[in-house]
Amino acid sequence: MVQAMSLPRNEAGIKAALGILKQRFGDRLQTGQAVREQHGHTTTWIENQPPDAVVFPTSTQEVSEIIKTCAANGVPVIPYGTGTSLEGHVNAPAGGISVDVSQMNQILAVNAGDLDCIVQPGVTREDLNVHLRDQGLFFPIDPGANASLGGMAATRASGTNAVRYGTMKDNVIALEVVMADGEVIRTAQRAKKSSAGYDLTRLMVGSEGTLGLITEITLRLQGIPEAMSSARCSFETVDAACHAVMMTIQYGIPVARMELLDTMSVQAVNAYSKMDLPEAPLLLLEFHGSEASVAEQSAAFGEIAEECGGTGFEWTTNTEERNRLWKARHDYYWAALQFRPGATGFATDVCVPISRLAECVAGSNDMVAELDLTGMIVGHVGDGNFHTTLLVNMQDKAEIARAEDFVGRLNDLAISLDGTCTGEHGIGQGKRPYLQKELGPATRYMAAIKAALDPQGIMNPGKILTP
Amino acid sequence: MVQAMSLPRNEAGIKAALGILKQRFGDRLQTGQAVREQHGHTTTWIENQPPDAVVFPTSTQEVSEIIKTCAANGVPVIPYGTGTSLEGHVNAPAGGISVDVSQMNQILAVNAGDLDCIVQPGVTREDLNVHLRDQGLFFPIDPGANASLGGMAATRASGTNAVRYGTMKDNVIALEVVMADGEVIRTAQRAKKSSAGYDLTRLMVGSEGTLGLITEITLRLQGIPEAMSSARCSFETVDAACHAVMMTIQYGIPVARMELLDTMSVQAVNAYSKMDLPEAPLLLLEFHGSEASVAEQSAAFGEIAEECGGTGFEWTTNTEERNRLWKARHDYYWAALQFRPGATGFATDVCVPISRLAECVAGSNDMVAELDLTGMIVGHVGDGNFHTTLLVNMQDKAEIARAEDFVGRLNDLAISLDGTCTGEHGIGQGKRPYLQKELGPATRYMAAIKAALDPQGIMNPGKILTP
């Protein structure tokens, strides 16, 4: 494990708040070690820092009461959705109360005529999409994990089809938030656009629970497309694949998903899924639209692929065949883990302008080799966003140190290419030094905003900003 | 004229700052009455509150020097683009220095491969589009006026094709901003998406110069579509037209523009432009895509229009014919002014969920009649956004009072329908009371952010928040 910084604990305050909350919430406040550890960070190599207790509110009013109690006693509040974040967002470095919103899981309204809905923060994206299906609607953001929508808003999540539908920043219309003093605000009305004052919605999206706790989310929805097509094509080099990506975007083909697997990823998938894909960089695509339009889009991409030296181009609208073409992507995570049995997989996330993508991917592969690591790449390349999955032997301290070194170097490279240290995973604990490197002077004003909205620093301390 | 609130002047500070800036900027600091009045509010019925001087910087460094001088002397700074804002954004209620960025008009970079560009704030949208045309690119946001891109970012502008391409919030990738203490920050790198810390980009977009002065803007661009088609259709009622709008959005037709003119607007255009459109609500549409796709979109809308009782449906891809179909919209502003000779036209702006649009438009028309006013409606109805243009006899104080009453009532109605008091014009001075009504408790946290980033309150005072 990689150590996470600890912060000073307010023992007296924590004790007092626990007493009050225990009386108020009874069995809905839990302090057992297992539940506490489960609510610390569990997904990557960052050490687990459990909270002192976990409370399960069922309403905004209850969240407000909890935060007021914590504010009165100077106790940290750590918002918790499903715990699938990857940079230590739910750790409790100063102890405190984890507020698990999983019982706030109601879909409050679906306004089909406006293509929007209002949900509580514990609703997961899969639950929402099951609920919407009968109405011909869907919520497009897909970060992979079946995350809660509150957590997705808080971390500005995106994923495979952000290239077409945007990220959480583009799909949250309004929020209800309990602020650090326990007051409840709405950041916007339900109108599709607004110029009414500071954009508190976008300030809260991506604030990782450090400015308030999201208790209600108004989301944009999409109509389920009449048709979808999937396509697959291999390329001789990452450079050629990235060139095809760039041309696809430039030609305005409204591609819904566009994923890159590098050669090692393809090798891993071939081994795991008994496939015989050419051992070369692979692009997978998905198109949404009318029957005619997805055919036109697929064919247009085929021409671009050919121009870029692509081979084995296939496309289909048949659901079974679509799944076959995308199997490499669906199986990727498990294939990567199997590629080095006994190792643990860690995905690190950067995003660069598309014109710099090939350079950044090549740099990542070079650094993996130089540092004698095992690592492969999968990317949401339509956005210039990719993840290097490192397969690390967690018994080998020297290897862990080299892996940490790699993460630092990759982030430095991405920043030097006018990119960001995180396209979608967020800062949490893990990326704080890189945020400083990336935005330097701007972080001073982020800190001023944090101090203004949370003067005691009780909301998810130790995340985003270096104390 | 409608009086705007005055704020206390810091005479000593203004005198001191003027002395320093005059020495530093020479003829680029102007204090003549004409130029000062031209830099106060000139576009609607809000009174003109000129600044004490206008300075014309040519670089970020100079803007930083100006703001440091103003900060040291406690003097207001009023950012100025082209002065086309409509709610008193550029007025100087406490005096101070207007910073006119029109000489910062360089297009610094066009990254065609990434579909982005970097511009100084004085570049206008038309200048940018002329520059981009040869590269097959365009910047889609079109608020009507040939506004500066700095001003458009500062007011979160949008306009006719926001329904497809979004607003400035969706099309600004990153900003360089001179903060209230004169420090220069970048809010983000050039990557297409990021989860790196608080979204200062979106906080600055729409902050109307009250948190800092924008000195550089990284914008998303679009490829010029292969084909465009335009369509026109009349409807018996606003309700039927709005129903067609809703179905078009729900069916996922990626309409690029969708404008509504109400019956009186059509009458005005018929009279002004010698047209013979049916005197009934009119929808105008534009579609972007491939030849096949715009044909498919136009036909699909035609079916929806027929289902909603639309008549006189026409569509075309021919440029001349497209201009003919859209002539009613292009001539609207001048037609409205001519509809009541001698009167002055004022557009007020609200935005509601599309399902409430017909109700809000009907409410607006009823209130215009009740208050014995002359007013007509044009709207970016794909977003639920519309403007009521009042034609007011500015010699008649009672009529002005009734017009003010109308604006208040319309905003109350929009807010009661889960809408906003401004879809795109911004708050400025004119809409401050409605922002309070709309977002109530949230405005306290907006004020906290303002105080944190601009503790002296020198950045564009008297705008957005009620002091």
For B372-415, the pLDDT digits (tens) are: 999 999 999 999 999 999 999 999 999 999 999 999 999 999 99
Determine the topology of domain B336-425 in CATH. Answer: Alpha-Beta Plaits (3.30.70)
Q: Look up the CATH architecture of domain B107-223.
A: 2-Layer Sandwich (3.30)
Contact call for B250 and A439, based on CB within 8 A = no
- Mutate one of B239, B437, B445 to test the A interface: name it (highest A CB count within 10 A): B445
Burial class for B316, CB neighbours closer than 10 Å (0-12, 13-18, 19+): middle
Distance CA(A170)–CA(A152), nearest Å, equals 12
Instruction: Indicate the SS3 state at residue A295.
Output: helix
CATH (residue range A227-334)? 3.30.70.2190
Residue with tokens 């030296």: A309
Residues in chain A: 467
CA closest to B210 among chain A residues: A198
B352 token code pair:
């509601």
**Residue in this structure with the two tokens 């490829």, named with its chain if needed:** B223
Closest C-alpha among B434, B274, B345 to residue B44:
B345
A192 and A447 Cβ atoms separated by less than 8 Å: no
* Cross-chain CB nearest to B114 (options A184, A195, A355): A355
Same-fold call for B107-223 versus B336-425: no
The total number of residues written for chain B in this structure: 467
> What pLDDT does B4 receive?
86
- Across the interface, do A197 and B222 touch by the CB < 8 Å criterion? no
Q: Does domain A335-424 have CATH number 3.30.70.2740?
A: yes
Residues of chain B with pLDDT under 70: 467
Instruction: Report the DSSP pairing between strands A227-234 and A311-316.
Output: antiparallel
B99: three-class secondary structure by DSSP: strand
Residue A366's pLDDT is: 97
Confidence of residue A4 (pLDDT cuts 50, 70, 90): confident
Give the position of tokens 């990567």.
A336
Q: What is the pLDDT of residue B78?
A: 98
Mean pLDDT of chain A: 96
pLDDT tens profile A27-54: 999 999 999 999 999 999 899 999 999 9
Tell me B137's DSSP state.
E
Q: What's the rounded Cα separation, in Å, for the pair A418 and A420? A: 7
Q: Under an 8 A CB cutoff, do A113 and B200 touch? A: no
pLDDT of A204 over the 70 cut: yes
Mean pLDDT of A53-75: 98
* Third-level CATH fold of B227-333: Alpha-Beta Plaits (3.30.70)
Partner-chain contact A196 B421, CB within 8 Å: yes
**Domain locations along chain B:** 107-223, 227-333, 336-425
* E strand or H helix at B423: none
CA of B40: how far to CAs of A81, A394, B100, B204, B460, in Å?
49, 65, 11, 22, 12
- Residue among A116, A156, A196 whose CB faces B420 most closely: A196
Q: What is the pLDDT of residue A3?
A: 83
Strands (E), A305-400: 311-316, 344-351, 375-380, 385-392
- Residues whose CB falls within 8 Å of the CB of residue A179, separated by 6 or more in sequence, listed in order: A67, A185, A211, A212, A453, A454, B445
How much is the pLDDT for B467?
A: 66
Of chain B, the end-to-end C-alpha distance in Å amounts to 22
pTM for the model: 0.97
**Is the pLDDT assigned to residue A274 strictly greater than 70?**
yes
CA distance A434 to B189: 13
Q: How confident is the model at residue A332 (pLDDT cuts 50, 70, 90)?
A: very high
Letter string b/e over residues A327-345, b meaning 16 or more CB atoms within 10 A of that residue's CB: bbbebbbebbbbbbeebeb
Residue A467 has pLDDT above 90, yes or no: no
Residue A2 has pLDDT above 90, yes or no: no
Cβ contact A188–B420 (<8 Å): yes
Give the model's confidence band at A247: pLDDT under 50 very low, under 70 low, under 90 confident, else very high: very high
Q: Supply the pLDDT for residue B344.
A: 92
* Percentage of chain A exceeding pLDDT 70: 100
- What is the interface pTM, i.e. ipTM, of the complex? 0.97
Residue B439 to residue A196, Cβ atoms within 8 A: yes
Position B226 scores a pLDDT of: 92
Calpha distance B146→B134 (Å, rounded): 20
Token look-up 């201009």 returns B323
Give the C-alpha separation, A182 to A68, whole Å. 5
Hey, is A281 helix, strand or coil? coil
Q: Which residues of chain B make contact with A202, given a CB cutoff of 8 A?
A: 169, 199, 202-203
CB atoms within 10 A of CB B279: 12
